[in-house]
Amino acid sequence: MSCLTSSKSSVQTARPLYRAALPSLRCAPAENLSLPASSDVAALRPAPRRPCKPAAICASRLAMAAGSGAKFRMEGQCFAMITPFQADSGELDMAALDIYVKFLWEQGARNVVVNGTTGEFAAMTMAERMQAAETTRRTFPGIVLNNISTCCLQDALTLLAHSHEKIATPMGQQAVADAVLVLPPFYLAGVTEEGVEAFLRAVLEKSQLPVMLYNFPANTNSLISPAMYSQLATDFPLLRGIKNTFADIPLCLKFKKAAPALQVYVGADRLTIDALDNGLDGIIGGGGSSALAATFVQIYVAYKDGNTSLAKQLQMRLNSWYGKRSLDLHHWY
C-alpha cells in the first residue's frame, strides 16, 4: 500500500478506502431502541490519554456551554477534519491527530467536525471513531461536532451515548462533543421519506446534545426535505441546524426559510461568499479547509469586516487550490 505524505511533515496517512468486511446491519423498530448502557460504551472506548493544555479557551464555546443546548450556535467557518492513519499498520495515528488539531486551532479554527466524510468515518471502527472524538475533545478548545452517522440505528445511538459522556480535559470534565451531526441512512436504495424521518426522530428523541442534521444526497441517495426539517425543528428544540453538502444555494435558502432561527451551513469550500451573500451561516469545509486553513478562516473574517474585495481574493486562492490539485491514486488500495 502506498501512502500520502505531507511535504512539511513526516506524518503519513494510509488507509484502504473501504474495509474488506463490514459488520452486518442490525435494525430494530425505533420504539424498541434505547441508549446503550455506559458499560457497553466503555467496552468500545479506548483507554484515556493524558490531556494537553490548549493555547486558549474558545470564548464562543464557553458562552454556549453556559446556556442550554437549545441555544447552541457556531460562529464562523467549520473544519471537517481529516483522520490520520499510520502508514505501516493502518491504525489511527494519535500523535499526528494531536498535532493536526493543534494546527487547526493555531490557524484560527474555532469549530470542527470529527469523524466526518472528509475523515473517512465509513471506513473506521466504532472504537476508532470514539478514540478520534476523545482526542479531538482533549486537544481542541473550540466547538467539536461529532458525526455519529451510520446505517445502523443502534450504532448511531451508541456513538450518541459516547458523545454525551464526560471525560477529563484541560478545562475539566467535558462532554466528548458539543453537538452531533447525523446523516440519513445511506447505502440502502429506495429509503422512503417516512423512513428517513423515522431514523432521524429516533436519534433526536434520545439526544441530550444539540443536533445538526446532515444532507448529502449524492452519497445517501435521499434528501432531508425543507418540510421535514421544519417539522423536526418544531418538535425538537435541540435540533440546531443543518449541513447541506450540495452547491444549490436556492435550495439551501429554503431550509433557512423553513426554520429561520436555526443555522444552515453549506458543505462546499468554494461557496463561502455565495453562502454569506445569501444570509446563510457559513461553510463546513472539506479538504481545502485543512490545506489552506488560515485562508479558509480569513475569507469569513474579511467578509464580516466588510472587506468583500479581500474576501473574494482569498476565495479565489482557495478555489485555485481545488482547480490545481491532482492526486494519483494508481495502486492506492
| pLDDT score at 71 | 83
8: left (phi over 0), alpha (psi -120 to 50) or beta: alpha
Looking at residue 308, what DSSP letter applies?
A: H
Q: Rg of the chain over CA atoms, in angstroms?
A: 19
What pLDDT is stored for residue 48 in this prediction? Answer: 38
Contacts of residue 59, Cβ cutoff 8 Å, sequence gap at least 6: none
Residue 10 pLDDT: 36
What confidence score (pLDDT) does residue 332 get? 36
Parent domain of 161? 40-290
Q: Residue 272: inside a domain, yes or no?
A: yes
Does the residue 201 lie in any domain? yes
- Measured at the CA of 261, the angle between CA 255 and CA 262, to 5 degrees, comes to 55
Q: What is the CATH number of the domain that holds 95?
A: 3.20.20.70
Domain count, the chain: 1
Position 223 in a domain: yes
pLDDT at 326: 52
- Distance between CA atoms of 199 and 211, rounded to whole angstroms? 14
Q: What phi and psi values does residue 180 have, to the nearest 5 degrees?
A: -120, 155
Residue 316 lies in a domain: no
Q: What is the full per-residue pLDDT of the chain (333 aa) written as tens digits?
A: 333 333 333 334 434 332 332 232 233 333 444 444 544 444 444 433 333 344 444 554 544 444 457 789 999 999 999 999 999 999 999 999 999 999 999 999 999 999 999 999 999 999 999 999 999 999 999 999 999 999 999 999 999 999 999 999 998 999 999 999 999 999 888 889 999 999 999 999 999 999 999 999 999 999 999 999 999 999 999 999 999 999 999 999 999 999 999 999 999 999 999 999 999 999 999 888 898 999 999 999 999 999 999 999 999 999 988 877 655 434 333
Query: For residue 10, is it within any domain?
Result: no
Domain membership flag for residue 26: no
Residue 189's SS3 state is coil
Does any domain span residue 136?
A: yes
The conformation of residue 151, written as its DSSP 8-state character, comes to S
Tell me what percent of the chain is helix, strand and coil, each rounded to the nearest 5.
Answer: 45, 15, 40
* Residue 293 identity (one-letter amino acid): A
**What are the Cα distances from residue 109, in Å, to 80, 112, 142, 163?**
11, 7, 8, 21
pLDDT at 69: 74
In a domain, 276, yes or no: yes
Q: Confirm if 238 and 210 have CB atoms less than 8 A apart.
A: yes
10-31: buried (b, 16+ CB within 10 Å) or exposed (e) per residue? ebbbbbeeeeeeeeeeeeeeee
